[in-house]
Amino acid sequence: MSERVDYDTIAPTYDARYGGRPYETVTEAIRRLVTAIRPEYALEVGCGTGHWLASLGDLIPHACGADSSLNMLRKGAGKLAASRLVRATAEALPFRRGCFDLIFCVNAVHHFPDLDGFIAEAWRLLRRGGTLAVIGMDPHRGRDRWCVHDYFPETRAIDLARFPSSGAIADAMLRAGFDRVECATACRITEIRIGEAVLTDPELQRRGCSQMALLTDDQYEAGINRVKSALQTANPNNPPEFTADIALMLQRAHRDR
């Protein structure tokens, strides 16, 4: 099993997930956050192909995105002005001190090898009164349901190992010097695919999401066979349901000084 996802390789098909899953609640949560803060200058770290930035164009006068994958940024250039996107790691962002009102990341912090380094960098780049917002899954809560974890059991262990808990993120924010930290549920992603419709789920494809990309070929094939077995053994009048009911948590930190 690889330790890191090669996003340069999966960039060409990455955006398929947005057409195949109900991400409207995530967009709404991010827009609520931005509307409440009303930033003039904002930065998304781990912006990928720029999907979330593109949804905020009417709310942020000056928005930038940073990602370590050149191919993901190239895909994003079709949605955003190329000058707004920079290739950089989360721990070494090429901006001057105190230039942003809002720094945020969406389901990306688990890809940053140094959580404390990223949050310290965010503190450096935020102006007085600025906000850092981290939105993402927290599998440590144990309250979510996801057919990926059910049928590809190795993915649960992968996620527990790489996703920081909400508490760990909040602790890192306080260590970095942020004055106040708030934790809440940002939104839920809910979906039920019935029967063979699950086979068209973009995130169940070989590299449809980072969980799948980190499996070995044998682990992936075994999971697909579990899905097919569930379909084959089910009562035709009562096909199995494949559920996603996942909370995205929000840790919001304020720099008051």
- Among 81-95, 107-121, 194-208, name the most confident range: 107-121
Half-sphere exposure for 238 (CA within 13 Å, toward CB): 3
Q: Smallest Cα–Cα separation from 102: which of 253, 238, 209, 210?
A: 253
Separation CA 160–CA 110 (nearest Å)? 10
**Which one-letter amino acid corresponds to residue 129?**
G
* Model pLDDT for residues 59-110, shown as the tens digit of each residue: 999 999 999 999 999 999 888 876 699 999 999 999 999 999 999 999 999 9
Does residue 2 have a pLDDT over 60?
no
Instruction: Tell me what the pLDDT averaged over the chain comes to.
Output: 94
Q: Smallest Cα–Cα separation from 125: which of 150, 152, 105, 155?
A: 105
Model-level pTM? 0.94
Does residue 4 have a pLDDT over 90?
no
Q: Smallest Cα–Cα separation from 243: which of 184, 194, 204?
A: 194
Helix, strand or coil, per DSSP, at residue 84: helix
Instruction: Show me where the domains of the chain are located.
Output: 7-254
* Model pLDDT for residues 138-190, shown as the tens digit of each residue: 999 999 999 999 999 999 999 999 999 999 999 999 999 999 999 999 999 99
Burial 196-224 (b: 16+ CB within 10 A, else e): eebeebbbbbebbbbbbbbbeeebbeebb
Q: What percent of the chain has pLDDT over 90?
A: 88
CATH homologous superfamily, domain 7-254: Vaccinia Virus protein VP39 (3.40.50.150)
